[in-house]
Amino acid sequence: MSGLRMRSVAVVAGAGVMLAIAAAPAGAAGTPAHIRGGETVPVYSYEDAVRESVWVQTTLDNDQDGVPDKVAVDITRPRAAVKVPVILEASPYYSCCGRGNESELKQYDANGVITKQPLFYDNFFVPRGYAFVAADIAGTNRSTGCMDVGGREEVLSAKAVVDWLNGRARATYADGTPAVATRWTNGKTGMIGKSWDGSVANGVAATGVEGLETIVPISAISSWYDYQRYNGVLRTNDYPEYLHRVVNGRPAGVCDQVVKQLDEGSDDATGNYNAYWAERDFRPDARRVHASVFIAHGINDTNVTTTQFARWWERLDVPKKIWLAQQGHVDPFDIRRGEWVDTLHRWFDRWLQGLRNGIDREPQATIETAPGTWVNERSWPASAARTTRVALGNGDGSTGTLGGKVNGGSRTWSDAPDLSEDVAVASPNSAVPGRVSFLSAPLTQPVRISGTPTVTLKVQVDKPTTELTARLVDYGTANRVNYLGRGEGITTLTTESCWGASTTFDDACYRDTAEDVVTSDHAIVTRGWQDAAHHVSLRFVTPLRPGRWYSVTVPLQPTDQRIAAGHVLGLILQASDNEYSTPQSTGATVRLDLRGSSLSLPLVGKLPAPGATAPTVPAAPPSGKRVAPPRFQPLLPG
């Protein structure tokens, strides 16, 4: 940065590059030029936009160098004499991993001035009278401090940016001169981001910071415990330290103390929920959120699982909206691009520009029910869903039944750590060591599962604990989004479409995508995991006594899926699961009392009464995607 003040520089557009219209005068009666017909329109030059960087001072010093930690903030805003609202994305990924389907990074000129911001937000919204601000979370890219993975440093470093935008925090340019945001912004801020970025938005909103008017968390975390633990089951060892290493932007040794705190606080040895995890749990502070919230999430997201949005959503008492797609960990920009950009535009216009466009009076929920089929509904979960208790029947003594009267019986199985999901669910009528299965009768009418299923198991275990894994399966041939494929439900095409204005250094054009759809004879509806020794509380371990019966409830991931008439609903139970977690496999033998066990479904419609034995489901060969499952490999919430 060589002591230069990072002010705007002119960027010359190349031939054929899209440009916004030059700045226009204010409209009638003082209406800003960018507001016409009840919406914002592109009137400000993107080529000539102000591009600058500032460093915002936080209230923390967790790198312990005696100087308050500073957050590097890159800004793109209209060069016009009008105060504009801000769209803010705070991220740890701007230099290590990139953003979006094309993994875009920030880029700077020789003087350190920002020339390219990732994603389309600046290209699309700056000409429409918004500023786009991209902040490097503490300890990443050009910021100081140390990344503490969902903790106070992370959240408060992003909050400091909102405070600065509202005149409550200090910032300087690279040469040390003061940077004052209130000269160009009215302070109204909206935060957006996918995965880790959206998690930061959730955390900042939970502080109740003044000036944050709306957030758009996409595939975002609301509890870091639930991201790195499944009810006491570890996803992988040393997960916080791994995440810190990937995004860390500080010199070697600077953050060793913070890494040590991550290791000790996360407490892999017990899997308990403790003060460390409580600091990283935003849900209890949902009452402090006053910003409106627009959530987007993949119903089949196996990275940031669906409990993250559902438990956050149910606690929010603010204007809110939700999009649920059939993909995995995918941004809606890469699923339903035109509709998403239009809806996001209207959402920001409503909450940041104050335009009464009616979006807050429209149906709350937009849901993909099948590949390419979307419906709008008044609320989520479905208002017609009723909690339905489904008995586990003995069936033929091998394959059990779902529904009907409780008729007793039992099942016994032993932990089989190498049992893959594909093998466990492929042939429910066959005896498979390490798993037991229960099937409904073929459905006489379609049903819908909308909300959070649970399964309560009355068990005896011959070890102090065991993991318990449950899966609901839709057995029946259908076209389905291939969320387990490489693109998690999308295919990236060779064509491009453009979403905003461009410069030589920052174009608004992105590869088009298409849904990846396959025909399959079964699909996982939802999954759930529980460490049996945490059946009393996640805060402490209660070892099981051999020979004693315990009631253990396994919560499954929230979902919204429709199951067609003629299909069969299956429940598959096993012990440890090495594909989605890194369990402490104990080799336990589990005995299940059917009379004391049941499945609870948030159901629209009815399951048919079962026959004397379970129906025969055609045996399907395992897909081959995970024949010999390795232990869970660490994921980035990105």
Question: For this structure, is 301 an active site residue?
Answer: yes
Report how far Cα 469 is from the mean position of its chain's Cα atoms: 22
* Residue 520 β-bridge partners: 478
Tokens 């919230």 correspond to what residue? 293
Among residues 63, 163, 301, 331, which one is catalytic?
301
CA atoms lying within 13 Å on the CB side of residue 630: 5
Question: For this structure, is 195 an active site residue?
Answer: yes
Among residues 91, 195, 199, 223, which one is catalytic?
195
Dihedral sign for Cα 141, 144, 145, 150, please: negative
Q: Rounded to the nearest 5°, which phi and psi values hold at 126?
A: -60, -45
Non-local CB neighbours of 129 within 8 Å, separated by 6+ positions: 32, 33, 34, 35, 40, 43, 44, 78, 82, 84, 85, 353
Q: Rounded to the nearest 5°, which phi and psi values hold at 556?
A: -90, 165
Dihedral sign for Cα 601, 606, 607, 612, please: positive
Among residues 34, 297, 329, 535, which one is catalytic?
329
CB atoms within 10 A of CB 538: 19
Contact of 241 with 259, CB cutoff 8 Å: yes
Q: Give the integer Cα–Cα distance in Å for 612 and 124.
A: 61
Non-local CB neighbours of 622 within 8 Å, separated by 6+ positions: 420, 422, 423, 426
Contact of 152 with 162, CB cutoff 8 Å: no
CB atoms within 10 A of CB 580: 17
Non-local CB neighbours of 566 within 8 Å, separated by 6+ positions: 442, 443, 476
Contact of 568 with 443, CB cutoff 8 Å: yes
The H helix count followed by the E strand count for the chain is: 10, 31
Calculated CA dihedral for residues 296, 105, 513, 128, nearest 10 degrees: 70
Question: For this structure, is 136 an active site residue?
Answer: no
CA atoms lying within 13 Å on the CB side of residue 551: 8
**For 310, which DSSP code?**
H
59-75 as b/e: b if 16+ CB within 10 A: ebebbeeeeebbbbbbb
Catalytic residue list: 195, 301, 329
